[in-house]
Amino acid sequence: MHIFELRLSNYRNYAQTTVRLDRGLNLFVGENAQGKSNLLEAIYLLSTLRSSRASTDADLVRRDILDSEFPIARLECQVERSAGNLHLEVAIVGRTTDPQHRAGKRVRVNGLPKRASDAVGQLSSVLFTTLDIDIVAGPPLLRRRYLDMMVSQVDRGYLRAMQKYQRVVQQRNSLLKRIAERQASSSELSFWDQELAHASGTIMHARAEALGHVAVQAAFHMDRLSDGQDSVSVTYRPSIGGLDESDSPIDDTEWTSRMLRALESLRAREIGAGSTLAGPHRDDFHVEINGFSAGPHASRAQQRTAALALRLAEASYLRKVLADDPVVLLDDVLSELDARRRRGVLEFLDSFQQTLITTADPDRVRDIMTRAAGRFVVQAGAITRFEGE
């Protein structure tokens, strides 16, 4: 798929702007703090209905109008997809004093109002940022987020299961606490155990499948980008354990019953702790570089390449499941790579319908300039196309 028009109004530092994008490579050049990252964040937000950076919706509304009567940011795009064209609109209402107008997001898909969760993945995208290195070297939370944002774009059932799971965990944790205080009996757990295990089955099955694909693709890209010097392996580590190398792939019912068995054996400890000790909220996946755990043993450069390989693997996962290309967004990641790795990334991305790349340093990436179909200057919240040098 590819975006042919994007409109932003009162979003971050953009007052009002319309960009017509090209198929192929679109390059955005600008000094720091002019709005390059905001532009890619906007597309990522249209795709996932979540910001890659902001903590509250009010952060997304242009500051000048935040105290006005209608503090509303609008994002809108027109997309050509193999599954039919898409007109996607998101309105973000910042803080409000009028109880008639709740703060939050309003979404329209081809003119029809939708719940935000029903609009996730209508536009599919992969976002590369300089923080991606933390997927490899950071805490498990970031690896779970990598998985969640990838899978929920293509699997509506996964997103639903995640939402239900979070609610069940909350209810179940307070029930466990009440049992510990002898205000409830452990017989009341059975419904919540069932619901927890059911949602877990869906989530863990989808994660295992996605990681199966990611592992193969990431290994391929790592080998290619490092010219055969480094290898990466990715392995799912569900919190309930029990995933052996010898295991043939298991289905969601099998995951559900494994989860139930795990809950059974953890019963006393869970009541003691007053919280749910196993399940998707404690999952992780291991990343090994050249056979050693990537966090402590690899160099920054190796970690960075592995992170890049994981994002490329994400792009090819989405392409496989959708039978359409996701829009690829690279936020300032190419200027930190050497020329060979940069070429390796670009050669792979050539096979995607549309890629958007930002850079503050066009002289370092002249090779991209010559490849780009569309070239733009971003300055103080204005985007202008330029031809020639």
Partner 1 sequence: MLRVPEHEAAELASAILDVKQKIRFCSICLNITESDPCSFCRDESRDAGLICVVEQPLDIIALDRAAAFKGRYHVLHGCLNPLEGLGPDQIHVRELLTRVKEGQVREVIMATNPSLEGEATAMYVQRLLSPLGVRVTRLARGLPSGADLEYIDDVTLARALEGRQDL
Q: How far is the CB of 258 from partner 1 (least distance, A)?
A: 22
Exposure of 270 in the CB half-sphere (CA atoms within 13 A)? 21
- Which lies closer to partner 1 via its Cβ, residue 110 or residue 299? 110
> Does 168 sit near partner 1 (CB under 8 A)?
yes
Question: Which residues ranging from 195 to 254 are in contact with partner 1 (CB under 8 A)?
Answer: 195
Q: According to CB under 8 A, which one of 164, 282, 319, 364 is a site residue for partner 1?
A: 164
Question: Which of these ranges, 7-15, 40-48, 122-130, 173-181, lies near partner 1 under the rule CB under 8 A?
Answer: 173-181
Place of tokens 């979003």: 11
Question: Which of these ranges, 28-36, 64-72, 163-171, 376-384, lies near partner 1 under the rule CB under 8 A?
Answer: 163-171
- DSSP character for 61? B
- 192 C-beta neighbours (distance < 10 Å), count: 18
> Does 281 sit near partner 1 (CB under 8 A)?
no
Per rule CB under 8 A, count of chain residues that contact partner 1:
25
What are the structure tokens assigned to 32, written together? Answer: 């720091």
Q: How many residues does the chain have?
A: 389
> Does 22 sit near partner 1 (CB under 8 A)?
no
Q: How far is the CB of 322 from partner 1 (least distance, A)?
A: 17
- 346 C-beta neighbours (distance < 10 Å), count: 18
Q: Helix H segments across the chain? A: 36-48, 116-119, 133-137, 140-154, 156-180, 189-225, 252-273, 294-297, 300-322, 339-349, 366-371
Q: According to CB under 8 A, which one of 68, 170, 265, 351 is a site residue for partner 1?
A: 170
- 8 A C-beta contact, residue 203 and residue 161: yes
> Does 188 sit near partner 1 (CB under 8 A)?
yes
Question: Which residues ranging from 105 to 124 are in contact with partner 1 (CB under 8 A)?
Answer: 112-115, 117-118
> Does 184 sit near partner 1 (CB under 8 A)?
yes
- DSSP character for 224? H
> Does 284 sit near partner 1 (CB under 8 A)?
no
Distances (CA, A) of 245 to 23, 235, 249, 293: 42, 10, 10, 17
- 31 C-beta neighbours (distance < 10 Å), count: 12
- Which lies closer to partner 1 via its Cβ, residue 6 or residue 107? 107
Question: Which of these ranges, 86-94, 165-173, 286-294, 335-343, lies near partner 1 under the rule CB under 8 A?
Answer: 165-173
Q: How far is the CB of 198 from partner 1 (least distance, A)?
A: 11
> In a 10 Å sphere around its CB, with 0-12 CB exposed, 13-18 middle and 19+ buried, how is residue 268 labelled?
exposed
- Which lies closer to partner 1 via its Cβ, residue 87 or residue 237? 87
- 8 A C-beta contact, residue 66 and residue 51: no
3-state class of 63 per DSSP? helix
> Does 172 sit near partner 1 (CB under 8 A)?
yes
> Does 174 sit near partner 1 (CB under 8 A)?
yes
Binding site for partner 1 (CB under 8 A): 112-115, 117-118, 156, 160, 164, 167-168, 170-172, 174-175, 178, 183-184, 188, 190-192, 194-195
